Amino acid sequence: MPLFEEQNRKIIKEAIKWAESITSGEIRVCVEKVCPEDVLNRAAYYFKHLEMHKTSLRNGVLIYIAIEDQKFAIIGDAGINKHVGENFWQDTKQAMLQQFKQGLLVEGVVKGIEMAGKALSEYFPPVNKDVNELSDDIHFGHE
């Protein structure tokens, strides 16, 4: 699985660092081999498990991917959702899917991170002494 290779992890982590440099929001990526339930339910499970709902401004975004099942979801917390609306997440998903269909998994994830970062920056600009509330590392779920 290319997403598990060290170089690809670095690329994704750097994309998260860049996105978080333009916002006070937090972005995480969670990867599993298979998704044992509805993909949105699974993403919501990890959102809570990774304590993304505990950011001070409720502005976390999670990109969840089940590699073997070829399923993914992108969800945001209440703070960002009240600003961007459902169309934003669908548009982001479509942009990612275009990359995935070409076999560009890492590029698709980076595209989603960049789009989320830009949206977060519009509503949640960086603040002085911003604390990175969540890890930038990819979280590998139950395998």
C-alpha to C-alpha distance for 119 and 138, rounded to whole angstroms: 21
Domain boundary assignment for the chain:
2-125
If 0-12 CB within 10 Å is exposed, 13-18 middle and 19+ buried, where does residue 112 land? buried
- Min mean pLDDT across 71-80, 92-101, 133-142 is at 133-142
pLDDT per residue as tens digits for the range 32-64: 999 999 999 999 999 999 999 988 889 999 999
Using CA atoms, how far residue 109 sits from 11, 72, 139, in Å, is 10, 10, 14
With a pLDDT cut of 70, the percent of the chain lying above it is 90
Helix ranges restricted to H, 34-134: 39-49, 78-101, 105-123
Reported confidence tier of residue 128, pLDDT bands at 50, 70, 90:
low
DSSP state of 137: S
Domain 2-125 has CATH 3.10.310.50: yes
pLDDT per residue as tens digits for the range 77-90: 999 999 987 789 99
